[in-house]
Structure 1
């Protein structure tokens, strides 16, 4: 038997309309077989925000099998641009009303991973007991804070904290940020819409990810957010990274896919 290793992923996912909304404008996608996980948070109301987030997920689901980390990123961005065009066409049909969605994407190819995002949905990495936010919120308050216009204290009490500055579907071209890193066995990555972080603190998220396997962690994060009033839709996707011999890893991936079916 070969001693070569590959990464396997145990995935959990959950979404809820929340306590105050009538429709769920969030969408999610988990394709561990492709090394792809997505959370999209729509804006624009019924028949608009949900259309935007679902369009993003539908196009990203066609990424296919990449031959390298760079190829996976390129395929992903090409699908995002196509989704952007479709969303903008839908906006034109509705008289030019603003339609769009924030998006966070985790890509994994071998030991390499990437995060791609636009808006205020987030990716966190839990490693060796520490939770670190990988994304930077594209919001008005963050832009003012980065420019030195307001202080940390002012930012905490800013009245327009949820005003986003980037989203797929609002501009002619997609404007995303990207970061890259290397996976380690035991890493847990969490993707979430802002419906989670509006109610849950980072240390609470960290405790949940440390104590529970991915699906149970997702269920618990949703349950606690609902218990706290869930002002918005809330969506979470968690993935735990493990290293396994290649022959065993193939079986693991099939089991994960069966669980998600």
Structure 2
């Protein structure tokens, strides 16, 4: 068995003061080349929390790292505000960072780590926290927008105007990230936030998907499908295109409360 699929529906704390429902679907697959799936994901609708993590460090280490990050995030029960929830997320990621550094030293495994992208919702607002090149996209009124910016070598080249987005997808150093959980004693996270709208659809994914599919392809696959079908379509298309890396996608739909 090389894939893991999970579905989740619920209102949760995110709806305490706003009439919104959240429905999500997630899938992870080891891909066509890798022997081990080092990705992991979280769906916790009642807490208003979703995440993807992509492990680094080779056999066992990457798998351990992503699982530890998701395990720490799964302890979060929710909060009374988006700011409070974002603070708790950052605290748990800092704890995961310390645990990975300690484990690496204790077992002499060498450096291990994981990229992560987290979306938290509460009281009509969303907050995203991330490190590395796992991403969060927002589909709103038919327009797909990436709301995270990769912490990677190729992103720095894009920002400098040296290469294009398309060239970055096929760059020989596309795998090099500049931030990750477990990369060092100082953890650098980035956050963004905004107001939710009914009809919003969020996509959280690892680079195993975005290194294979363009933003236009992603838009075409998620624009009209329900979350389950859209996630299946994203992963299936990635697999049919070769899937040289593990691939993980989580979709979260925002709708009016019943």
1:209, CA displacement in angstroms? 1.3
Alignment partner of 1:152 out of 161, 164, 176:
164
What SS does the aligned partner of 2:46 have?
A: coil
1:27 and 1:105 map into 2 onto residues whose CA distance is: 12
Cα distance change on mapping 1:173 and 1:180 into 2, 3 Å = same
Structure with more contact order per residue of length (Cα contacts < 8 Å, sep ≥ 6): 1
1:153 and 1:54 map into 2 onto residues whose CA distance is: 30
Matches within 5 A, 1:1-261: 5-95=18-108, 97-147=110-160, 150-152=162-164, 156=168, 158-244=171-257, 248=258
* Contact persistence 2:28–2:248 (CA under 8 A): yes
* Contact persistence 2:23–2:254 (CA under 8 A): yes
Cα distance change on mapping 1:96 and 1:18 into 2, 3 Å = closer
Cα distance change on mapping 1:17 and 1:38 into 2, 3 Å = same
1:151 and 1:209 map into 2 onto residues whose CA distance is: 27
1:96 and 1:15 map into 2 onto residues whose CA distance is: 25
User: What does the per-residue CA deviation read over 1:183-230, in whole Å, with 9 as the maximum and x for residues that have no partner?
Assistant: 100000000000001111111111221121111100111111111110
1:13 and 1:96 map into 2 onto residues whose CA distance is: 30
1:21 and 1:125 map into 2 onto residues whose CA distance is: 29
User: What does the per-residue CA deviation read over 1:208-261, in whole Å, with 9 as the maximum and x for residues that have no partner?
Assistant: 2112111110011111111111000000000000121xxx4xxxxxxxxxxxxx
TM-score relative to the length of structure 1: 0.88
Larger Rg: 1
What SS does the aligned partner of 1:33 have?
A: helix
Number of equivalenced pairs: 241
1:153, CA displacement in angstroms? 8.1
* Contact persistence 1:114–1:179 (CA under 8 A): yes
Structure 1 unaligned spans of 5+: 249-261
TM-score relative to the length of structure 2: 0.89
2:78 and 2:193 map into 1 onto residues whose CA distance is: 19
Structure 2 unaligned spans of 5+: 1-16
2:83 and 2:44 map into 1 onto residues whose CA distance is: 18
